[in-house]
Amino acid sequence: MPHSVKVAPAYPVADGQAHCPIHHVLSYIGNKWAILILRELFQGNRRTNEFLAALPGISTKTLTARLRELERWGLVTRTVFPEVPPRVEYSLTAKGREIQPIMVALSQVGQHWLVHGSPRSAP
Amino acid sequence: MPHSVKVAPAYPVADGQAHCPIHHVLSYIGNKWAILILRELFQGNRRTNEFLAALPGISTKTLTARLRELERWGLVTRTVFPEVPPRVEYSLTAKGREIQPIMVALSQVGQHWLVHGSPRSAP
DNA sequence: CCGAATCCGTGTCGATACTG
DNA sequence: CAGTATCGACACGGATTCGG
């Protein structure tokens, strides 16, 4: 953690596992909405309202907070168009696209669990 | 969801994305500690104290809560040995081992971000 | 009008103390 | 040693308000 300021509220990088790769990625995308936000961006650029429509349950407050984090970490780009009405577009950076293997793995396991009985439907 | 009781506090399966594979997996392992707990179990059976040592920051309350969820969903087995002092061991089920591709992807991206500059260290 | 900031109620989590 | 109970801290959601 190069900065002393708290930039990752989700996963406090503690003690002996700061070097664990899995823990390291989770400190970026392990919070409640990050992966779903990135999932949207893998399908194309998105505006704020489009996120809100695609992610039922998220609040504008949390959405902007997560997008600001992802932007600060270099995973997402925020573009403001000085128009009326105002328009803001978010897109993936090259760094952000690097998590594609994770999205693929998540999608494959999810597909498998949707087709076969999901664990939750087991007795 | 066979039960009417709330078994998945992490990700309320909302509206149009209940069928999304990624959202579906995250409803199981998308919460704060599940993946790190499973990471431990991929390296062998674990006792409660071993989890607490390997996951600095987790509380006994949350640990047992997550383990109970994972057990209920069929990803983890809980074995109680009637000894003194009491001993409880947790292990992965076959269902639990199905998330291995996710762990691999997380580990690889994490490794890459640790070797090259992590996004967080970018300006 | 859209994006975002603010106030407030709620639920989750961590720290501690305690029980079997 | 494993798990529960209580309490304070914090993140999130909903509604409202502001800014451009």
Residue A19 banded pLDDT, cuts 50, 70, 90 = confident
Out of A27, A56, A98, closest to residue B109 by CB? A98
Instruction: Read off the pLDDT of each residue in A60-68 and give the average, rounded to a whole number.
Output: 96
Q: How confident is the model at residue B18 (pLDDT cuts 50, 70, 90)?
A: low
pLDDT in tens, B43-87: 999 999 999 999 999 999 999 999 999 999 999 999 999 988 999
What does the pLDDT read at residue B54?
95
Q: How far apart are CA B51 and CA A98, in angstroms?
A: 30
The CA-based angle B32-A63-A88, given to 5 degrees, is 150
Nearest to A21 among B15, B75, B111 (CB): B111
Establish if B88 touches chain A: CB-CB under 8 angstroms: no
What is the nearest nucleotide to B62, using C1' and CA? C13
A48 touches strand C (CB under 7 A): yes
* Distance measured from the CA of protein residue B66 to the C1' of nucleotide C5, in angstroms: 34
What dihedral angle (degrees, nearest 10) is formed by the CA atoms of A8, B53, B9, A63?
10
Name the band, by pLDDT with cuts 50, 70 and 90, for residue A5.
Answer: very low
Tell me whether residues B22 and A110 touch, CB distance under 8 A: yes
Class of residue A89 by CB neighbours under 10 A (exposed 0-12, middle 13-18, buried 19+): middle
pLDDT confidence of residue B4:
27
User: Residue B17 above 90 pLDDT?
Assistant: no
A60 touches strand C (CB under 7 A): yes
Q: Is the peptide bond before A86 cis (omega within 30 degrees of 0)?
A: no
User: pLDDT band for position A74 (50/70/90)?
Assistant: very high
User: A88 pLDDT band (50/70/90 cuts)?
Assistant: very high
For residues A15-19, average pLDDT: 60
CA B48, B53, B58, B59 torsion-angle sign:
positive
The mean pLDDT value for B29-40 works out to 95
